[in-house]
């Protein structure tokens, strides 16, 4: 679970990112979960865009993808949200402020 300060840090980093996952009319499917897991394996923070054809609202899709991938939603604006999952194997990791123990 991310603290408010950690989410704020991630949102600042996420402003510069382009969406790498697009969720459309199929919603959260096996393929979208697999693609999201692969993207989170390569980098810790990704931007996901929910298209107008998606069957669910952005908050619902964000929660489904976060639950399915073991990630956390760092923020949402409109039809776009940031998904974060730490990966200790990456060479360049995101440095977050300390969280609550």
**Res 99 pLDDT > 90:** no
Q: Using DSSP, state whether 8 is helix, strand or coil.
A: helix
pTM of full prediction above 0.85: yes
Residue 97: pLDDT band (50, 70, 90) is confident
Mean pLDDT of 66-72: 95
Between CA 2 and CA 10 the distance in angstroms is 10
Domains and CATH numbers, the chain: 4-84 (3.30.110.60)
pLDDT reported for residue 50: 95
| Mean pLDDT, the chain, whole residue set | 92
Band of residue 1 on the pLDDT scale cut at 50, 70, 90: confident
Secondary structure percentages of the chain, helix, strand, coil, to 5:
35, 20, 45
Query: pLDDT confidence of 72, banded at 50, 70, 90?
Result: very high
Tell me what the mean pLDDT of segment 60-87 comes to: 95
DSSP string of 18-31, one letter each residue: PEEEEE-TT-S-HH
Residue spans of alpha helices (H) in the chain: 4-14, 30-42, 58-69
Which two structure tokens, joined as six digits, stand for 71?
Answer: 């990630």
pLDDT of residue 100: 67
**β-sheet bridge partners, residue 72:** 84
Count CA within 13 A, CB hemisphere, residue 88.
0
Q: Is 46 within 8 Å of 86 (Cβ atoms)?
A: no
């Amino acid at each position: 679970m991310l603290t408010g300060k950690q989410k704020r840090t991630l949102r600042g980093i996420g402003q510069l990112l382009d969406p790498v996952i697009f969720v459309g009319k199929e919603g959260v499917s096996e393929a979208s979960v697999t693609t999201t897991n692969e993207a989170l394996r390569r980098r810790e923070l990704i931007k996901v865009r929910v298209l107008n054809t998606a069957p669910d609202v952005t908050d619902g899709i964000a929660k489904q993808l976060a639950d399915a991938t073991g990630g956390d939603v760092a923020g949402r604006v409109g039809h776009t949200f940031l998904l974060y999952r730490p990966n200790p194997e990456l060479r360049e990791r995101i440095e977050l402020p300390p969280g609550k123990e």
